[in-house]
Amino acid sequence: MARAFLFVLDSFGIGHAPDAAAFANEGADTFGHIAQACAEGRGDRPGLRQGPLLLPHLRALGLSHAAAIAAGHDVAHLPSATGFYGAACETSRGKDTPSGHWEIAGVPVPFDWGYFPETEPTFPRSLTDAIVEKAALPGILGNCHASGTEIIARLGEEHIRTGKPICYTSADSVFQIAAHEEHFGLERLYQLCELVRVLVDPLNIGRVIARPFLGESAENFERTANRRDYAVPPPEPTLLDRVEAAGGRVFGIGKIGDIFAHQGVSEVRKAAGNMALFEASLKAMREARDGDLVFANFVDFDSLYGHRRDVPGYAAALEAFDRKLPEALTLLQEGDMLVLTADHGCDPTWSGSDHTRECVPVVGMAPGLRGGSVGLRRTFADMGETVAEHLGIPRGPHGISFLGGLAPDA
């Protein structure tokens, strides 16, 4: 009996990566800075949370050890952990969500994505002309780098008045389109994104993202859970395809289906909010059979708190996840493997609103195997290869399994 459960805490980095300077992210540390801010009273928000960051279950598994390993520190002084723990660096050149997830699934991105410049307008004229013409639009708004919540507050009312969709980008390889679910129409927004997906293909853009919202004024605009990502497919078969080829099923919880352009995802299960995503993950864990993979993405950490630079919000979301974690741990049987990790950082104490280049945690539990350190992994792909070996799938070319190090007699 072998089953695997991969949980991605979207953006939960544990300290700057060795190549962080190339991203101007030296010193970034999502976990460390949240913990530090909470310890100093900067993580308090009345009615939400207060005091030091309390993550007893994650720490018991080995999260503090993982952070120490990411920083190159010794873990000998820490109380012993119940799980396996380590940290991983990213070899893909982007610090975006698809790069991170594909690399976790054994396929680093070997090329540079296309990006839009930090000029205004940011999009090439030929592209916006083609969009306006092919979609018969009265024009577009935005056409700049922006934070999604700020730009709908700034341009949402004009969007409703004029019918022009709000188009923006970020430091990621994305073309984002915000539009009102009712005034513009949700289906119409999706169709527009499909059209733009084709138009940005020659520019090597990773994702076109529909960002629908509701509300009638800048004070009450709110993005809805109907976000949809149109990603290019991964450049090679991923762990997901390999699990399916071996006869297993892949349960993609939350954004996973979109991130992998629906390749190798046997069942897509969406849910709104981290807690609903956790419930969907627990349900899939109960249903999973021998050879199956449950791959879950917990998006709120990143989109609601990391990008919004909201320390108390991020801390409260981590604490809620931690409180829920025992429910997943009690479902683990002999032959199961749970890995908790992240796809990049998004330090809420950092400047701007973009991701941060960080190491990610590799923390987990596999009943029947011993715990302990798996060290600092050169690539996220080591996680995918470990899961592959655990499930008895032939090895792939980009990572090295650490399963041998967890053998009971090791």
Ligand X SMILES: O=P(O)(O)O[C@H]1O[C@H](CO)[C@@H](O)[C@H]1O
Binding residue positions: 10, 302, 307, 343-344, 355
Binding site membership for Mn(2+): which residues?
10, 302, 307, 343-344, 355
DSSP 254: T
Nearest alpha-carbon partner for 115 in 145, 152, 141: 145
Q: 127, 209, 280, 403: which one contacts ligand X (CB under 6 A)?
A: 209
Which residues between 211 and 240 bind ligand X (CB under 6 A)?
A: 211
Q: Which is nearer to ligand X, 212 or 371 (CB)?
A: 212
Nearest alpha-carbon partner for 355 in 94, 70, 27, 123: 94
Which residues between 108 and 147 bind ligand X (CB under 6 A)?
A: 147
Nearest alpha-carbon partner for 252 in 299, 219, 206: 299
**How many Å apart are CA 22 and CA 278, to the nearest integer?**
35
Q: Are 135 and 161 in contact (CB under 8 A)?
A: no
The reply on whether position 303 binds ligand X by CB under 6 A is: yes
Shortest distance in whole angstroms from residue 2 CB to ligand X? 32
Please compute, for residue 195, the number of CA atoms within 13 A of its CA located in the half-sphere on the CB side.
18
Q: 4, 6, 10, 13: which one contacts Mn ion (CB under 5 A)?
A: 10
**How many Å apart are CA 64 and CA 67, to the nearest integer?**
5
Q: Is 388 exposed, middle or buried (0-12, 13-18, 19+ CB in 10 A)?
A: buried
Shortest distance in whole angstroms from residue 297 CB to Mn ion? 8
The reply on whether position 205 binds ligand X by CB under 6 A is: no
Piece in contact with ligand X (CB under 6 A), picked from 128-136, 172-180, 236-244, 280-288 = 172-180
Q: 64, 97, 143, 356: which one contacts ligand X (CB under 6 A)?
A: 97
The reply on whether position 11 binds ligand X by CB under 6 A is: no
Backbone phi and psi for residue 339, each to the nearest 5 degrees, phi listed first: -120, 125
The reply on whether position 244 binds ligand X by CB under 6 A is: no
Q: Which is nearer to Mn ion, 97 or 143 (CB)?
A: 97
Binding site for ligand X (CB under 6 A): 97, 147-148, 170, 172, 174, 176, 209, 211, 303, 307, 353
